[in-house]
C-alpha cells in the first residue's frame, strides 16, 4: 500500500525521517508492504506540493542549503498552497506534524492536527505541544474520524518509551516514572564534565539538532517538564500542565559543581519524575524536574551524550528501564517511521 504524506516542518527531524524513507524504501516494501511518497512539504518559508510525489534527494539537498525554495521545478509542482490546502487535499493520506514545539498554545500545530482529523487524515506528530496541551481532545477526534494518531516521537525521540508503556506493559500499573528525558541538557552536562564551557556545549547541542529553537526550553527544564506532563497524561490519565511541574533547570549548575561531583564519584543529571500520591479524595500525581547529583552506580548516571533513559516502576514486575537516543533528526525521524508502520499494520488492508 502506498501512502501520500504531507510534512509540516522540515527541520532536523523532518529531514531525518525523509532520509530514512529514502534509504529504507526497498526494505519497507519487502518486509511490510509499506510504500510512501512525500507529496507535500510546508514550512514557514516554503510550500511544495505535488500529488505525484516530491523527489526526496532534491528535498534534502535544498534543505541542506537551508532553502527549500531552491527545490527545482517539475511537472505538477505547486509552490503557492497553504498548509490547510495541503492537509485537506484528497490525495493526502497522512500528515506528519514536525514543526517547532510551542508549549504555550501548541499552535499552529494544534490547528493542523484538528484540520487533519476533521478531514479524515491520519496524523503522526513529533511536535510535543499538541500532546502536552490537548491530547484528550485530539485522541477523541482521531477515534471519531477512525484515524491513526501517532506520537511516539514526543518523548525519547525514536526510543519507544510510549509504546513500551502502553502496549508492552499493558496490564501492569505504573506507579512511578523516573528518567532523563531531555537530550540537550544531558549532552551539555557531559561536555562540562570533559571541561567544555556551558555556552560552547550548548552551541554544539544546537548544531547537532538536539536543542529546541529557543534552547531556554531545554536548559530551564521546560522541555523535560512538557515531556513529563505528556507521560502523566498518557500513562496516568492525569490532568497536569507544565505549570504544575516542580521545575528547576541546569543553568545554576556551574563548571565547578560538575567537576566537584566528578571528583567525588558523582554526576549531575537532569531528572524528571512522576509519583502517585494518595489523597483523601483519591490520588494525585506529583511531577518534578530537577538536577540531581547521582552516584556513578546509579544506572541513570551512565547515560551519556544526547541519550535518554526512563524507568517505569510497576506494581507487577518491578522496575523496567529503557535507554536510547532521545533527540536528533535521525532518532526522532525514526519515531515517525515506526508510527507510520503501526498505522499501516492497523489500517493497511
Ligand atoms: N530539545 C529536545 C531534547 C529535543 O533535547 O531532548 C527532543 O525532544
What strand order describes the sheet that includes 246-247?
A: 246-247, 282-295, 266-279, 174-180, 307-314, 318-325
Give residue 281 CA to ligand 1 midpoint distance, Å.
36
Q: What is the pLDDT of residues 90-127, one digit of tens each?
A: 999 999 999 999 999 999 999 999 999 999 999 999 99
Residues with CB under 6 A from ligand 1: 157, 182-184, 210-212, 218, 223, 326-327
pTM of the model: 0.96
Q: Would you state the pLDDT for residue 106?
A: 97
Write 135-140 long-range contacts (CB < 8 A, 24+): 135/230, 135/233, 135/234, 136/233, 138/110, 138/113, 138/114
**Active site positions, annotated:** 227
349 confidence band (pLDDT: 50, 70, 90): confident
The mean of the pLDDT values for the chain is: 97
Query: Which mutation among 326, 331, 332, 336 tests ligand 1's pocket best, with the greatest number of atoms within 8 A of CB?
Result: 326
Q: What is the pLDDT of residues 177-206, one digit of tens each?
A: 999 999 999 999 999 999 999 999 999 999
Q: What is the pLDDT of residues 293-335, one digit of tens each?
A: 999 999 999 999 999 999 999 999 999 999 999 999 999 999 9
For the segment 161-166, the average pLDDT, to the nearest whole number, is 97
Task: Please report, rounded to a whole number, the percentage of residues in the chain having pLDDT higher than 70.
Answer: 100
Amino acid at each position: 500500500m502506498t501512502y501520500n504524506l504531507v510534512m509540516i516542518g522540515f527541520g532536523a527531524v523532518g529531514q531525518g525521517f525523509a532520509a530514512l524513507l529514502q534509504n529504507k524504501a526497498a526494505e519497507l516494501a519487502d518486509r511490510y508492504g509499506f510504500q510512501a511518497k512525500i507529496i507535500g512539504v510546508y514550512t514557514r518559508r516554503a510550500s511544495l506540493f505535488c500529488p505525484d510525489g516530491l523527489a526526496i534527494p532534491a528535498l534534502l539537498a535544498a534543505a541542506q542549503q537551508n532553502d527549500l525554495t531552491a527545490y527545482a521545478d517539475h511537472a505538477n509542482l505547486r509552490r503557492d498552497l497553504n498548509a490547510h490546502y495541503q492537509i485537506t487535499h484528497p490525495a493526502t493520506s497522512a500528515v506528519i506534524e514536525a514543526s517547532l514545539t510551542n508549549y504555550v498554545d501548541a499552535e499552529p500545530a494544534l490547528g493542523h492536527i484538528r484540520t487533519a482529523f476533521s478531514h479524515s487524515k491520519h496524523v503522526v506528530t513529533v511536535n510535543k505541544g499538541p500532546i502536552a496541551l490537548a491530547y484528550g481532545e485530539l485522541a477523541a477526534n482521531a477515534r471519531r474520524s477512525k484515524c491513526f494518531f501517532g506520537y511516539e516521537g514526543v518523548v525519547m525521540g525514536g526510543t519507544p518509551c510510549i509504546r513500551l508503556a502502553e502496549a508492552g506493559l499493558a496490564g501492569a500499573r505504573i506507579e512511578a516514572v523516573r528518567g532523563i528525558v531531555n537530550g540537550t541538557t544531558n549532552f551539555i552536562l557531559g561536555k562540562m564534565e570533559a571541561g567544555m564551557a556551558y555556552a560552547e556545549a550548548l552551541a554544539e547541542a544546537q548544531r547537532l539538532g538536539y536543542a529546541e529553537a529557543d534552547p531556554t526550553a531545554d536548559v530551564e527544564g521546560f522541555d523535560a517538564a512538557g515531556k513529563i506532563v505528556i507521560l502523566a497524561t498518557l500513562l496516568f490519565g492525569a490532568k497536569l500542565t507544565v505549570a504544575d511541574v516542580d521545575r528547576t533547570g541546569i543553568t545554576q549548575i556551574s563548571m565547578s559543581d560538575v567537576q566537584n561531583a566528578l571528583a567525588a564519584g558523582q554526576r549531575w543529571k537532569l531528572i524528571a519524575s512522576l509519583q502517585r500520591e494518595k489523597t483523601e479524595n483519591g490520588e494525585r500525581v506529583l511531577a518534578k524536574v530537577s538536577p540531581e547529583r547521582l552516584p556513578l552506580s546509579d544506572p541513570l548516571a551512565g547515560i551519556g551524550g544526547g541519550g535518554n533513559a526512563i524507568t517505569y516502576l510497576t506494581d507487577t514486575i518491578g522496575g523496567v528501564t529503557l535507554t536510547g537516543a532521545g533527540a536528533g533528526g535521525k532518532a526522532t525521524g525514526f519515531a515517525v517511521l515506526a508510527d507510520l508502520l503501526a498505522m499501516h499494520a492497523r489500517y493497511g488492508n
